[in-house]
Amino acid sequence: MAISYVSSGTGTNSIASMPSHQAGDLLIFFAYRDGSTTNPTLPAGFTSITAPDGTTSSTTVGYKIAASGSETSGTWTNATSLICHVYRSSTGSVFPGAVATNTGSSTTVNYPALTLNNTSGSSWVLGFAGCNQSDMSLETAPSLMTNRSTVSDATDEAAGADTNGGVTSWSSTNVSVGGTSGPWTTAVIEIAESAITYIGSATAAATTVTLPTHQAGDLILIFAFRDGNFIPPSLPSGYTSKTITNSGDYDQAAMRLGYKIAASSSETSGTWTNATQLVCHIYRGADQTTPLGGSGFTRRTSEGTSTASYPTLTLTVSDGTSWIA
């Protein structure tokens, strides 16, 4: 597994021409506002990472997982400088991890120490800065980082950088940026690959179920059970079937397991015709191309058995990152 930097773009409160990206990419935005401690607004569809305020400035940092190659920046109302960085995983997804921020007023900008969630050496660290002056050299990246973006106007500027590779730690780092002394704000953010997390679940004794809270890129996994018939419930449009089976000779029942990768935060279950019970799980960080690996099923083979048996499963990925549902 490996993270790669893809592209970057800049603007004021929106980005007219988004940097190159594709479905599954991590889009991180740094929105800076000079002259006010009222933060730039977070557009719909984005998740907040942090929102630090300086003495006479404010910042909003947010992200989304691209649902396609044609995402827009949205409008970060009141921002005076806006930066977007795009990152990609070679095998799954990239998500923000630990975050730290700092503020000050001088010609020396500090990127604070960060305690990483993942210290294996696979996480990258991103560094963003904004200031209320236009003659500081914020594009001077901290040591161990590479500058990726710079934007400035008559009153402020902002810049973004990253470690351009995995690190095991990040220490507090000062950068002399020259120019006129003024207020600044920095944010350092860990990004890591495909750390799968359970988000939520929902059930219904019906053919539809209201999905738990989710966002673009999440794995939606639905188990549909039918009592009283050997024919499995139908698969709704947009879902992929993983497992279909029935109960065999001793019970009249059937099931189907299906999944999809959420394209937005407003997905629906669809109708699983003939289902009598539905169970939905939401997971974040699963591989966007092949989210499910091996599967197996078992069923009662004799009447009178009251103990459920879960089958042996040969994992497709055996490096310790797989989950079993």
Check pLDDT > 90 for residue 60: yes
Contacts of 320 (CB under 8 A, 6+ apart): none
Name which residue leads in pLDDT, 124 or 289: 124
**pLDDT score for 249:** 47
Q: pLDDT tens, 264-282?
A: 889 999 999 999 999 999 9
Check pLDDT > 90 for residue 242: no
CA 256, 258, 259 angle in degrees (round to 5)? 165
Residue 116 contacts residue 123 (beta carbons within 8 Å):
yes
Contacts of 180 (CB under 8 A, 6+ apart): 107, 133, 135, 136
Check pLDDT > 70 for residue 45: yes
pTM exceeds 0.85 for this model:
no
One-letter amino acid of 36: S
What's the rounded Cα separation, in Å, for the pair 209 and 219? 16
Q: pLDDT tens, 170-228?
A: 999 999 999 999 999 999 999 988 667 789 999 999 999 999 999 888 899 999 999 88
Name which residue leads in pLDDT, 254 or 146: 146
* Mean pLDDT, residues 48-54: 92
**pLDDT score for 303:** 59
One-letter amino acid of 23: A
- Report the 10 Å Cβ neighbour count for 155: 14
* Mean pLDDT, residues 157-175: 97
Check pLDDT > 80 for residue 304: no
Q: How confident is the model at residue 316 (pLDDT cuts 50, 70, 90)?
A: confident
Q: pLDDT tens, 78-112?
A: 999 999 999 998 866 788 989 999 999 999 999 99
